[in-house]
């Protein structure tokens, strides 16, 4: 079945460690996104990419990095520079066009110990 797969679902890390969250889609979507969600909060945009080998910073890009080497994949690295990384991370994708619909993965919950 087509969809977006995020891994791992749960992740624990020690302070000072980088961690990479995986996001893979087989929907043949051009655009992919990373959002962060904190308890009781909306989704805040970290990075997005509309085409391979190109990506743009969102509202809260500091302390994060991404790559888009393949259309299907958009991994997010949470670096040690991110001051408060404990959160729920959501990856999404969409085809080009004005539909307003994002397809989300099941999310990755990162806890920094």
Partner 1 sequence: GQSLEQPSEVTAVEGAIVQINCTYQTSGFYGLSWYQQHDGGAPTFLSYNALDGLEETGRFSSFLSRSDSYGYLLLQELQMKDSASYFCAAKANSGYALNFGKGTSLLVTP
The least distance separating partner 1 from the CB of residue 85, rounded to whole angstroms, comes to 19
Which is nearer to partner 1, 53 or 99 (by Cβ)? 99
| Residues binding partner 1 (CB under 8 A) | 31, 33, 35, 40-45, 48, 50, 56, 58, 90, 94, 96, 98-107
The residue among 42, 39, 48, 31 whose CA lies nearest residue 99 is 31
Which is nearer to partner 1, 15 or 54 (by Cβ)? 54
**In Å, what is the CA distance from 84 to each residue of 59, 76, 87?**
15, 15, 8
The least distance separating partner 1 from the CB of residue 31, rounded to whole angstroms, comes to 5
Rounded Cα–Cα distance for residues 60 and 6 (Å): 20
Which is nearer to partner 1, 33 or 64 (by Cβ)? 33
Strand partners for 34: 47, 91
Which is nearer to partner 1, 16 or 100 (by Cβ)? 100
The least distance separating partner 1 from the CB of residue 98, rounded to whole angstroms, comes to 6
Rounded Cα–Cα distance for residues 67 and 63 (Å): 14
The least distance separating partner 1 from the CB of residue 113, rounded to whole angstroms, comes to 20
Task: Read off φ and ψ for residue 111, nearest 5 degrees.
Answer: -125, 125
């Amino acid at each position: 079945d087509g969809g977006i797969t995020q891994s791992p679902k749960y992740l624990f890390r020690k302070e000072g460690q980088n961690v990479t969250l995986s996001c893979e889609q087989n929907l043949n979507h051009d655009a992919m996104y990373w959002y962060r969600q904190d308890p009781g909060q909306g989704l805040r945009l970290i990075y997005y990419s509309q085409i391979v080998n190109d990506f743009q910073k969102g509202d809260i890009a500091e302390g994060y990095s991404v790559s888009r080497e393949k259309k299907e994949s958009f991994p997010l690295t949470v670096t040690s520079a991110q001051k408060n990384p404990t959160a729920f991370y959501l990856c999404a994708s969409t085809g080009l066009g004005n539909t307003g619909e994002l397809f989300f993965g099941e999310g990755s919950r990162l806890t920094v110990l």
